[in-house]
Amino acid sequence: MRLNSFNYLVKQGFSGLWFNRVNSFASLCVVTISLLMVGISILTSYNINNMIGAIESRNEVMVVIQDGTPENNVTLLGEQLGQNPNVFEVNFFSRQQAWEEMQSDMSEKEKALFGDEYFDYIPLPDTYRIRVSDIGELSETVAEISKLDFVESVQSPNDFADILIGIRNLCAILFSAITLSLIIVCFVIISNSTRASVYARRREINIMRYVGASKSFIEIPFFVEGLVIGILSAGIAFGLTWFAYNEVYTMLSTDVDMFQIFGLTALIPFETIAVRTGIAYLICGIFLSAIGTVVSTRKHLNV
Amino acid sequence: MVEFRNVSYTYPSGQQALNRINLKIDDSEFVFVVGANGAGKSTLIKLLLRELTATEGEVVVNGFNLSTMKQRKVPKLRRTIGVVFQDFRLIPNMTVYDNVAFALRVIDAPLKYIRARVPYVIQLVGLTAKAKSYPNDLSGGEQQRVALARALVNDPQLIIADEPTGNVDPARSFEIVELLQAINECGTTVLMVTHQHELVRYFGGRIININAGAVVFDEVIGGAYDESASEESAEEFSGGLA
């Protein structure tokens, strides 16, 4: 295609946007909202996964060894624990180490009280402290470990892990449903907008057809319209996300104690994901708007 | 060259518009197609433009067999045809120049060619002084001249004029047909559909009469048109049209 023709078609696309500004604005709004919802769902899932990852790496499962277990059996148990596919770290923690750790956390009064009473006998068991690769399989792993010989009990943060996994799954389902619904709504709105645009330009399109304009030549201005809406929507959605994310990030990292359980690193700063988010918005915006416009143009034009 | 070989067309509703039509129009011919409303004239044009495909038979236009032609080739066919409609179909927010240039722009013609060709064609139809005017500022006859210029600008092999004088006052109708004849004399085949019998009688030539989907008359008749005295004759005949 010649440069002057390309310029002409791009100009037609822009004039189409202005000519159908009400519909264009509606498309812009709906694509922006759709992108925002998609963005929020992805960023939320991303952060929840990150938090779960942080919990996985910080939370230990404590395997309590039966009192009086011979040393070689304790070693054998350690090897068996290491063979479990969901266990990536196994550390032996003797009763002496546990006692020292406990005393280090005690106040002077507590030390005086417990130190005298239990001086000759440490009331804590020998343990293995293990870390799991996938917190989602924690219950199964705990059940398997409980069956091993010389295991007195297994202590794990099962309930908390279950809550987080539940939230992650719920978010995934909820956001998928919202995203899918919005994509459908988006296509319907774009289709209506395109139909109005085709109707407004029916005279030109009719003449174009009679003088032998190719199908792509007729479609390009509509594609340009869609492309511009897609890029603008992506830009607006990106800006809004940046602003909102930083607000939430600041609020959660300073005001909400719960999030300090995971540490600040559990929430990802927007700067580290800005480029990926921007590219994702751009691709989604172009896909939703430009491709949606072309598909509906073909439907309404009948060239 | 236009050829219809045993062509029939039946609309999806079951209405038969054309029934086994055989027709041949050679290059550089000027043909009037006449017939009452609903006779099948519009269907004939739609078949020529490949808006419709014959349900039976073969249509050949400028070397394209429209019965076997793929949809993606239709623009190529249409670039060999210029079409003029009764309602002009000009774009109101474009000047005369832009309306004519539009036909070249949409087929990706070089800008240099557009700049040379458009003023030439506008001058051919006698509208140089109105090149910057908008369609709504022109009379019916002038608007039809713009439409004619747009049809002509691609240098088509065939011009199809569908009732080109239908929205033009009687005196200007003769000018339009004279213009079409001048174009024809340069070698372009012209197929003009009309139901203004006075015009046909005046200009004469090959007349094809379609009735109830069939060609009932296809002959060359002599007209009253005489170049030396055309103005007087036109005045006289336009009285009959009014």
Tens of pLDDT along B47-90? 999 999 999 999 999 999 999 999 889 999 999 999 999 888 89
Residue whose entry in the numeric block shows the structure tokens 């055309």: B230
Predicted TM-score of the model (pTM): 0.66
Closest CB to A2: pick one of B76, B103, B108. Answer: B108
pLDDT at A250 over 90: no
pLDDT at A117 over 70: no
A215–B106 C-beta distance less than 8 A? no
Share of chain B above pLDDT 70, in %: 92
At position B184, the amino acid (one-letter code) is: N
What is the DSSP secondary-structure string of A89-139?
A: EEEEE-HHHHHHHHHHHS-HHHHHHHHHHTSS---PPPEEEEEES-GGGHH
The 8-class DSSP code of residue A264 comes to G
pLDDT at B100 over 90: yes
The 8-class DSSP code of residue A212 comes to T
Asked if residues B85 and A225 have their Cβ atoms less than 8 Å apart, the reply is: no
Tens of pLDDT along A69-97? 888 999 999 999 999 988 888 999 888 88
Tens of pLDDT along B201-238? 888 889 999 999 999 999 998 766 655 444 544 455 44
Closest CB to B89: pick one of A207, A214, A217. Answer: A207
Q: A303 by DSSP, 3-state: which?
A: coil
Q: How far is A195 from chain B (nearest CA, A)?
A: 19
In this prediction, residue A156 has a pLDDT band, given cuts at 50, 70 and 90, of confident
Selected for mutation to probe chain B from A10, A202, A211, A216 (highest B CB count within 10 Å) is A211
Question: How far apart (Å, rounded) are the C-alpha atoms in residues B197 and A154?
Answer: 104
Question: How far apart (Å, rounded) are the C-alpha atoms in residues A65 and B40?
Answer: 98
Share of chain A above pLDDT 90, in %: 11
pLDDT of residue A234: 92
Closest CB to B79: pick one of A1, A212, A215. Answer: A212
What is the mean pLDDT of the segment spanning A278-296? 84
Q: Please choose, from the candidates A291, A289, A282, the residue with its C-alpha nearest in 3D space to the C-alpha of residue A31.
A: A289
Residue B115 contacts A, CB cutoff 8 Å:
no
Q: How far is B8 from chain A (nearest CA, A)?
A: 23
Tens of pLDDT along A259-283? 555 554 567 888 888 898 899 899 8
Question: How far apart (Å, rounded) are the C-alpha atoms in residues A86 and A244?
Answer: 37
Burial class (CB in 10 A: 0-12, 13-18, 19+), A67: exposed
User: CA-CA-CA-CA torsion for B202, B205, B211, B214, nearest 10 degrees?
Assistant: 180
Tens of pLDDT along A203-215? 788 888 888 888 8
pLDDT at A257 over 70: no
Q: Which fold has domain A60-156?
A: Alpha-Beta Plaits (3.30.70)
Element (H, E) at A61: strand A61-65
CA of residue A21 relative to chain centroid, distance? 35
Largest CA distance in chain A: 104
The per-residue pLDDT of chain A, averaged, comes to 81
pLDDT of residue A179: 75
pLDDT at A258 over 90: no
Shortest CA distance from B49: residue in chain A: A210
In this prediction, residue B114 has a pLDDT band, given cuts at 50, 70 and 90, of very high
Cα four-point dihedral sign A25, A31, A33, A39: negative
The 8-class DSSP code of residue A302 comes to -
What is the mean pLDDT of the segment spanning B135-160? 93
Q: How far is B156 from chain A (nearest CA, A)?
A: 10
B150–A211 C-beta distance less than 8 A? yes
Element (H, E) at A153: strand A151-155
Tens of pLDDT along B4-37? 999 999 999 999 999 999 999 999 999 999 998 8
User: Considering only CB atoms, which chain A residues are within 8 Å of B76?
Assistant: 212
Residue whose entry in the numeric block shows the structure tokens 């949409």: B106
pLDDT of residue A181: 83
pLDDT of residue B241: 44
What is the DSSP secondary-structure string of chain B?
A: -EEEEEEEEE-TTS-EEEEEEEEEE-TT-EEEEE--TTSSHHHHHHHHTTSS--SEEEEEETTEETTT--GGGHHHHHTTEEEEETT----TTS-HHHHHHHHHHTTT--HHHHHHHHHHHHHHTT-GGGTTS-GGGS-HHHHHHHHHHHHHTT--SEEEEESTTTTS-HHHHHHHHHHHHHHHHTT-EEEEE---HHHHHHH-EEEEEEETTEEEEEEEE--S--GGGHHHHHHHHHHHH-
B111–A208 C-beta distance less than 8 A? no
Q: How many C-beta atoms surround the C-beta of residue B165 within 10 A?
A: 25
What is the mean pLDDT of the segment spanning B129-139? 94
Share of chain B above pLDDT 90, in %: 64
Residue whose entry in the numeric block shows the structure tokens 């602003």: A243
Radius of gyration over every alpha carbon of chain A, rounded to an integer in angstroms: 31
Q: Where are the domains of chain B?
A: 89-155
Closest CB to B105: pick one of A5, A203, A215. Answer: A5
User: Considering only CB atoms, which chain A residues are within 8 Å of B113?
Assistant: none
pLDDT of residue B229: 45
Residue B76 contacts A, CB cutoff 8 Å:
yes
Tens of pLDDT along B58-70? 999 999 999 999 9
A8–B105 C-beta distance less than 8 A? yes
ipTM over 0.90: no
pLDDT at A171 over 80: no
pLDDT of residue B213: 92
pLDDT at A107 over 80: no
Cα four-point dihedral sign B98, B103, B109, B112: negative
A211–B103 C-beta distance less than 8 A? yes
pLDDT at B136 over 90: yes
Asked if residues A74 and A92 have their Cβ atoms less than 8 Å apart, the reply is: yes
- Sheet of A87-93, strands arranged across: A87-93, A127-132, A61-65, A151-155
Shortest CA distance from A6: residue in chain B: B108
Selected for mutation to probe chain B from A203, A210, A217 (highest B CB count within 10 Å) is A210
Selected for mutation to probe chain B from A207, A208, A216 (highest B CB count within 10 Å) is A207
Residue B79 contacts A, CB cutoff 8 Å:
yes
In this prediction, residue B193 has a pLDDT band, given cuts at 50, 70 and 90, of very high
Asked if residues A253 and A26 have their Cβ atoms less than 8 Å apart, the reply is: no
Q: Where are the domains of chain A?
A: 3-55+162-301, 60-156
Element (H, E) at A297: helix A292-301
More confident residue, B86 or A258: B86
What is the mean pLDDT of the segment spanning A7-18? 81
CA distances in angstroms from B192 to A105, B141, B163, listed in the order given: 104, 16, 7
pLDDT of residue B225: 62
pLDDT at B242 over 60: no
Lowest mean pLDDT: which of A83-92, A107-116, B164-173, B225-234?
Answer: B225-234
